[in-house]
Structure 1
Amino acid sequence: MGKITILDVAQSAGVSVATVDRVLNRRNGVRKVTVERVESAIRQLNYQPDRLAARLARSRDYRFCFVLPTGNNVFMVTLGEEVRAAAERMAPERVVIDMRLTDVFDGHALAHTLDQIGDIYDGVAVVALDHPSVREAISGLTQRGVTVVTLVSDIPGSKRVHYAGIDNTAAGRTAASLLGKFLGSRQGEVGLIAGSLALRDHIERQFGFEQIMTHEFPHLSILPVREGRDDWQRVEEVTTQLMKEHPNLVGLYNAGGGTRGIISALEKAKRERDIVFIAHELTDHARKALIRGTVDAIINQDAGHEVRSAVRVLLAKADNGPLIEAQERIRIDIFLRDNLP
């Protein structure tokens, strides 16, 4: 069988090609019963609209913008590389992808960047800070007809249309289960480091971590969370101070970036063997430290999958096409040194 066309759908549904086009593009003027008949024909025939042809017919490109953090967070640098790869990949399909860097730890700075984007973009993907100014900026974009997707860190309840990232509460619970099981019957204190508690992904990881630690490992004492702004040098200082103040420290969970700093602090203090350390993101530094035994387990999210998912969602919204929810679900990967890819 050849490629299914819009004419095949029209003939199967018993309607005109124009009616099928109105249904595909979510335009008004079609009765509900007719819409259902057309959608049924689309499913039965497995019709896939030629979105590229539609874009060519419009005689203009789609323009998307990714707003990512400044700084030396290795995972975010990788995210930027994936955005550039996506831009190259999508260029032949008349999709332009730009990238802007800003301080996502500063709500007003991030909101200003979003406000300055203007009307030149059809969609925006942003590593979001849960802050009133950022919520308002997202609302302003959507009012101007710009689709907004949150990336890595979410703002539930905002006017974003989709979140491309892992379930961070589940990630925190996973970290606690791993840490508790690695420590076994050992007693002592457990440290928790985050980039910023203004980032929802870090808050959710903290919540999930403390939830499991409190209920399933009551013999371990959780210390108050400390912030390192995902800067590895700052995180190293925080870790060094934490070890000095708490000689009975037996475990560490880094809910954010800057893992390189914790690795350095543990190895300088010669405590990489007696402190169980759970980190996020399979960076080069984390990978080598996992092999050496300084890091005991890594919870990872696929930066490429997240960027591709965000692009697919922005395209689907621009094309008025459907989303495949299962395809956009970002899984949590757990790596030990025995199963490194």
Structure 2
Amino acid sequence: MKPTVHDIANIAGVSLATVDRVLNGRPGVRLVTRGKVEEAIASLGYVRDLAAANLAKSRTYSFVFILPANDNSFMIGLTEEVRGAVARSSFERTDIRIVDVPPFDPDALVAALEAALAEKPAGVAFVAIDAPEVRAAAERLRQAGIPMVTLVSDLPDSSRDHYAGIDNIAAGRTAGSLMGRFLSGPFLGERGATVAVLAGSMLVRDHRERLEGFSTVIAQAYPNVHILPVLEGRDDPVLAETMIADALRRNADIAGIYSLGAGNRGLIRALQKARGPRRPLVIAHELTASTRVALADGIIDAVLNQDAGHEVRSAIRVLKAKADGLPVLAAQERIRIDIFLKDNLP
């Protein structure tokens, strides 16, 4: 049988109330008495079941999710996953509040983090912008003892506790390998091939890391593939459509397009309207309603996907664990990269 608090009380010769004070780090226990309780805990090998304790106390975890609000299918889906968690809050003992901020706006994100700091929730999850002022705000939350999880886009070398998202350098490398293989043959002649890259913003680390991985593989394995300067469409479908249409007009020899952000609806519209002897090969991110149809119709050739639901569930699990002082199971929280072609659409 597992040792109980009654066993601790008997060995230490104290009351259950004293054991409870020691376990919860509350004052009112003499140093000598506290030592006896801790010795009893060690001798029994007692491990506290914090989940059961919290359930018995009807503890509710208050979490703040700070998410970019824009016309972005993936982020809309991510927000819906958080709303699903809100709907399950009574079963999961959570109280989740969603805060919308403009995309790619460090000042707005900092203001939201400062507001969360004033509330002192049990944890905060946010889509990070890699900027000094955001790091400074995260450090202030850390100093206040508030656990933090970054979603989708990370803020490494900061005070955050965990990152719930894919390895974006690996995703970019995968896209580079697929692009090089797809272009080999009729597309990749003696003169090589030209590839356009559509990003949201280089302010966010996930986009920079995808570009880094993509460019590295192309340079190392496919040196006759030329990458054009990155187009930053701010994940805005209208702006993305304009940029891609203009790029196709100015560069008739574009053989491939890597869409590493979320402006895919605009990209698809531009490709549908384009006129030319040959359609570019296209690799994009996130399996949404629009990319699914484009993949099935042959407008997009491959989609790299991350599971937004897994990321949200992971963030909640990690924030709960951090609030309870429990370890995080790394294998459970790893977000995988899925590769979809028209032939394996789920």
Determine the C-alpha separation between the residues in 2 that align with 1:92 and 1:105. 34
TM, length-normalised to structure 2: 0.86
Match of residue 30 from structure 2:
none
Any residues of structure 2 matched to 1:100-139 within 5 Å, and which? 100-117=99-116, 118-139=118-139
| Aligned-residue RMSD, C-alpha | 2.9
Match of residue 234 from structure 2:
229
Match of residue 259 from structure 1:
264
TM, length-normalised to structure 1: 0.87
Larger Rg: 2
Conserved? CA contact 2:304–2:338, under 8 Å:
yes
Q: How much has 1:270 moved relative to structure 2? A: 3.8
Determine the C-alpha separation between the residues in 1 that align with 2:40 and 2:259. 54
Determine the C-alpha separation between the residues in 1 that align with 2:97 and 2:304. 29
Give the aligned residue type for 1:134.
V
Give the aligned residue type for 2:134.
V
Match of residue 144 from structure 2:
144
Residues 139 and 32 of structure 1: CA distance in aligned 2, closer, same or farther (over 3 Å): farther
User: Are 2:167 and 1:167 equivalent residues in the alignment?
Assistant: yes
Residues 273 and 119 of structure 1: CA distance in aligned 2, closer, same or farther (over 3 Å): same
Match of residue 82 from structure 1:
81
Q: How much has 1:24 moved relative to structure 2? A: 7.9
Give the aligned residue type for 1:337.
K
Residues 140 and 50 of structure 1: CA distance in aligned 2, closer, same or farther (over 3 Å): closer
Q: How much has 1:34 moved relative to structure 2? A: 6.7
Residues 108 and 5 of structure 1: CA distance in aligned 2, closer, same or farther (over 3 Å): same
Any residues of structure 2 matched to 1:183-202 within 5 Å, and which? 183-185=183-185, 186=188, 187-202=192-207
Give the aligned residue type for 2:76.
V
Determine the C-alpha separation between the residues in 1 that align with 2:172 and 2:96. 32
Structure 1, residues 156-207: CA drift from partner, whole Å, max 9, x if none? 0110000000000000000011111111131320011110001000000000
Q: How much has 1:145 moved relative to structure 2? A: 2.0
In the alignment, structure 2 segments of 5+ residues that lack a partner are 27-33
Q: How much has 1:321 moved relative to structure 2? A: 1.8
Structure 1, residues 101-142: CA drift from partner, whole Å, max 9, x if none? 102401111111111222241110000000111111111112
Match of residue 29 from structure 2:
none
1:268 alignment partner, one of 266, 269, 273:
273
Conserved? CA contact 2:68–2:103, under 8 Å:
yes
In the alignment, structure 1 segments of 5+ residues that lack a partner are 43-47
1:296 alignment partner, one of 278, 281, 301:
301
Any residues of structure 2 matched to 1:299-318 within 5 Å, and which? 299-318=304-323
Residue 342 of structure 2 aligns to a residue in which SS? coil
Determine the C-alpha separation between the residues in 2 that align with 1:217 and 1:32. 64
Match of residue 221 from structure 2:
216
Conserved? CA contact 1:6–1:20, under 8 Å:
no
Structure 1, residues 76-105: CA drift from partner, whole Å, max 9, x if none? 000001001111213234310110110240
Q: How much has 1:212 moved relative to structure 2? A: 0.2
Determine the C-alpha separation between the residues in 1 that align with 2:245 and 2:21. 63
Determine the C-alpha separation between the residues in 1 that align with 2:160 and 2:102. 20
Determine the C-alpha separation between the residues in 1 that align with 2:199 and 2:244. 11
Conserved? CA contact 2:12–2:40, under 8 Å:
no
Residues 200 and 21 of structure 1: CA distance in aligned 2, closer, same or farther (over 3 Å): farther
Match of residue 212 from structure 2:
207
2:333 alignment partner, one of 328, 335, 341:
328
Conserved? CA contact 1:25–1:321, under 8 Å:
no
Determine the C-alpha separation between the residues in 2 that align with 1:114 and 1:79. 19
Determine the C-alpha separation between the residues in 2 that align with 1:22 and 1:298. 54
Give the aligned residue type for 1:49.
D
Match of residue 45 from structure 1:
none
Residue 332 of structure 2 aligns to a residue in which SS? helix
Match of residue 96 from structure 2:
97
Q: How much has 1:23 moved relative to structure 2? A: 9.9
Conserved? CA contact 1:75–1:281, under 8 Å:
yes
Residue 191 of structure 1 aligns to a residue in which SS? strand
Identity %: 48
Residue 338 of structure 1 aligns to a residue in which SS? helix
Conserved? CA contact 1:119–1:146, under 8 Å:
no
Q: How much has 1:52 moved relative to structure 2? A: 5.2
